[in-house]
Chains A and B, each alone.
Chain A
Amino acid sequence: MIKSIFKFMGAILLSLTVMSVNATPVDTYEFKSAENQQRALELAHSLRCPQCQNQNLIDSNSQVAQDLRLEVYQMVDAGKDYDEVIEFMTSRYGDFVLYKPRMEPKTYILWLGPIGLLVLGLCIGFIFVRKQRISQVEDQGISAEEQKELDRLLNRDAK
């Protein structure tokens, strides 16, 4: 009986701690409009937390992510557009914060590489298949000598 009371109290305590961890002031931010909120959340989702590396600004609870999240929310609410927010972030933290790299000379190989490889693969495949077909056609021809031998064998079996 006492044991189960302890368990129950433990569970309450645990859920309280979990709740308090999530209740940061940033996350109670009130947007001017629902449209702003959606836009800001999308942006924060597309930005990487500079400290935790494998989480976006929404997922991460680190101090830096919280600050940047708040910054994004405020910028969106102040009417800043997508490019302005991205510029704000990359001018401080570099291209690293972008999950989706920008298209620029430095990243051409990243964007175009897979397409290039696909084209190369198709070309090689095409040449390979063509070559095989040609050699098959060639193989079908037999010399006069071979034809003679073949005739001889056929004749022998026919007898």
Chain B
Amino acid sequence: MKKLILFIPLILVMGMGGFLYKGLFLNPKLLDSALEGKPIPVFQLERLEDSSEIITNETLKGKVSLLNVWATWCPSCKYEHPYLMRFARQNTLPIYGINYRDERDSALRELNILGDPYTKNIYDHNGRLGLDLGVYGAPESFLVDHNGIIRFRYAGPIDQRVWDETLLPMIKQLQAVAKEEGAS
């Protein structure tokens, strides 16, 4: 019994070592979103493609959708773009773009050249919506359920792997819930 007590410090140190070791592999870029489980912030912004059309947070309700924050000045968005095109063709869910701190002309030009995966683009010229969403860089993506509640935030470019392993299972699940509750 007495000998066992002598091992307690060793066990404590090993426990702490394990804890710290695990900390080495945490990605500090992946912050928990404070907004998961909360509704999309209230907003009223012009549509990128047509300044007379106003998009609000109500527009996004009714269907499970993906909100993708992008800009022409963002290199990782260019990496992400072809994947978004592919997912848009598969027609799994509407993808709304938030054109974040960008110029309308250059944004439209880029969509013309590279293709437009977005159902609609929200023109967040001064970044206010981005700020309310807790965006700290682009690209970031938010999975929004049919009630307009943010269910998941992904910071960084989406590629095939992220889509297959993380997003698609969640989308399927959210769409099943939406169907049960009578939304399309």
Residues of A within 8 A of B (CB): 50-51, 53, 63-64, 67-68, 71, 90-96
Contact = CB atoms under 8 A, between A and B. Distances in A.
Interface stretch (B27-35, B44-52, B55-63, B168-176): B27-35
B136 A94 contact: no
A92 B101 contact: no
B115 interface: no
Given A51-B137, A64-B136, A64-B137, A94 B131 contact: no
A51 B136 contact: yes
A92 B137 contact: no
Contacts of B34: 90-95
B31 A67 contact: no
4 shortest A-B CB distances, which residue pairs? A92-B134, A50-B136, A94-B34, A51-B136
A94 B134 CA distance: 9
A26 to B, nearest CB: 13
A94 B127 contact: no
The secondary structure that dominates the B interface is: loop
A51 B135 CA distance: 9
Nearest to A124: B9
A64 B138 CA distance: 11
B133 interface: yes
Contacts of A95: 34
B31 A93 contact: yes
Contacts of A93: 31, 34, 134, 136
Given A67-B127, A93-B134, A50 B101 contact: no
Contact of A50 (B31, B127, B132): B31
Nearest to A95: B34
B136 A71 contact: no
Interface of B: 28, 31-35, 101, 127, 131-137
A64 B149 CA distance: 24
A95 B31 CA distance: 10
B147 to A, nearest CB: 19
Given A50-B31, A51-B136, 7 more contacts: A53-B28, A64-B135, A91-B35, A92-B134, A93-B34, A93-B134, A95-B34
Contacts of A68: 131
User: Which of B34, B132, B133 has the most chain A CB atoms inside 10 A of its CB?
Assistant: B34
A92 B31 contact: no
A90 to B, nearest CB: 6
A7 B34 CA distance: 51
Nearest to A68: B131
A4 B36 CA distance: 60
Contacts of B32: 94, 96
A39 B28 CA distance: 29
Contact of B133 (A51, A63, A92, A96): A92
B76 to A, nearest CB: 13
Given A91-B34, A94-B32, A94-B34, A50 B134 contact: yes
